[in-house]
Amino acid sequence: MLIWSPGQPSSDPNTSFAGQRPSSLIYGEQLTPWVLGALLAHFENKVMFQGFLWNINSFDQEGVQLGKRLTQQILTDHVDDEALKVLAEMLAVQTLHS
């Protein structure tokens, strides 16, 4: 499944994200230790190789922090972005208040 990131403006170029970029979402029937290991290995290698090819920092900490903030918004049911709300509803995310 392909989803689009909402983005986040900021005066700091390290924390500014344009948004409207595709993200991959994998949905499966059953999560087993083998499947989880295969997924982690696949994405780790994919990200590392793409960063090497494009000469960018694949493990950008600012992007990780944005992901944590967006996840916290979803889990606490304090989502300001409409696209993020729709994604959480589509995935039937259980909030901490559920």
Instruction: Count CB neighbours of 90 within 10 A.
Output: 11
Residue of 65 and 60 predicted with greater confidence: 65
Look up residue 61 and give its two tokens. 């900490």
Query: What is the pLDDT confidence band of residue 66, given thresholds at 50, 70 and 90?
Result: confident
Query: Which tens digits make up the pLDDT trace of 70-91?
Result: 888 888 888 888 888 888 888 8
Helix, strand, coil content of the chain in percent (nearest 5): 45, 10, 45
Residue of 28 and 29 predicted with greater confidence: 29
Residue of 2 and 24 predicted with greater confidence: 24
The answer to whether the beta carbons of residues 78 and 96 sit under 8 Å apart is no
